[in-house]
Amino acid sequence: MRRKHRSLEERLRLYEEVMKLRRLGLGYERIAKAIKEKYGVWLSPAMIGKWITGKHHSLGSCNKLVVAAELAYVIGGWLGDGWLRYVRNNHRYCVGLSVRDYDFAEEWGRCLALALGRRQPYKPYWDKYHQRWVVEGYSLLLYTLLRRSEKNLRILMPILEKHPAEACRGFFDAEGTVDVDYYYIAASNTNPKLIELFKNLLRKIGIESKIYRCRQKEVFIDSKTGKLYHRNSKYIIILTISREGNILRYAERVSFIVARKRLKLMKLLGKYLKADN
């Protein structure tokens, strides 16, 4: 009898449930029984073990994503400046990025193509109205994975933990800054869980960081349109990397693709070298 084919949504839902039960301390066999009782689906303890250890992903044979450093960079960048759009007229699932730096957009498009098994890179185009470079690619699989991650970031961890440096590079290319005068690197976002995720990824490559919460103004004026908008969050969460050892490890293991940010990082490193002399 042929096994029933599970949809992407179902596979990701089962994966989330397995990881949740594992965090509660359940063993592989107990997880398998719990999944069977709740969903009527039997997952072998051996397969559950592969999911938990990262040797296999729940998307199984339908997984056309190339799980490599390029995909980690794509996801890291998308978590900072990305968006998703379903194109109804041709039923296509778009994953996109909108940024101010061409070099960032170009690298993200190159990595996106490799992650989707495409030979030619996705080329950025200039959005004149928003004054930003835009890159777009189409993938139901990646779209579904990223859409699910909006509710549960943990489903991305098997990919990001394999390539933490590239994931952090993508995120800091999107959200990062370098303050040369005050000797620190920072990235900010309104989602505290997202900031905590990258704090943990930095730690995996030997970089310690701190998290701060700063209150934002409730309203802001769009410099292009002059319109007044209310912010969705009262606070901005800031991830900061300071101290010479952490800065040096960041420069060696992560750095930036964005040239203007990389230049500031080099200036900061130069100040440390002058201080040592």
Please write the tens of the pLDDT for every residue from 138-173: 988 899 889 989 988 988 988 899 999 999 999 999
pLDDT of residue 3: 46
Residues paired with 212 in a beta bridge = 238
- Name the helix (H) or strand (E) containing 175: helix 164-175
Pairwise pLDDT comparison (5 vs 118), residue with the higher score:
118
> Is pLDDT above 50 for 1?
no
Are 94 and 130 found together in one domain? Answer: yes
Cα–Cα distance measured from residue 113 to residue 136, given in angstroms and rounded to the nearest whole number: 10
Strand 235-242 with 210-215, pairing:
antiparallel
Mean pLDDT of the chain: 87
Establish if 127 belongs to a structural domain. Answer: yes
Q: Quick one: average pLDDT of 242-263?
A: 97
The end-to-end CA distance of the chain, in Å, is 74
Pairwise pLDDT comparison (222 vs 23), residue with the higher score:
23
Establish if 2 belongs to a structural domain. Answer: no
Cα–Cα distance measured from residue 17 to residue 48, given in angstroms and rounded to the nearest whole number: 11
259: its two tokens: 């040239």
Report which of 88, 95, 86 is spatially closest to residue 145, judged by C-alpha positions. Answer: 95
> Is pLDDT above 60 for 194?
yes
Are 80 and 168 found together in one domain? Answer: no
Phi, psi of 224 (to 5 degrees): -85, -45
pLDDT of residue 8: 60
> Is pLDDT above 70 for 18?
yes
Count of the separate structural domains present in the chain: 3
**For 65, left (φ over 0), alpha (ψ -120 to 50), or beta?**
beta
Give the percent of the chain with pLDDT over 70.
85
Q: What is the pTM of this model?
A: 0.78
Whichever domain contains 129, its CATH number is 3.10.28.10
Establish if 1 belongs to a structural domain. Answer: no
Establish if 214 belongs to a structural domain. Answer: yes
Are 190 and 226 found together in one domain? Answer: yes
pLDDT for 206-235, tens place per residue?
999 999 998 766 655 555 555 555 556 678
Confidence of residue 92 (pLDDT cuts 50, 70, 90): confident
Contacts of 105 (CB under 8 A, 6+ apart): 97, 99, 124, 133, 134, 135
pLDDT for 41-52, tens place per residue?
888 888 888 777
E strands, the chain, are 82-87, 92-99, 125-127, 132-138, 176-179, 184-189, 210-215, 219-221, 228-230, 235-242
pLDDT of residue 249: 97
- The range of the structural domain enclosing residue 190 comes to 157-276
Pairwise pLDDT comparison (107 vs 15), residue with the higher score:
107
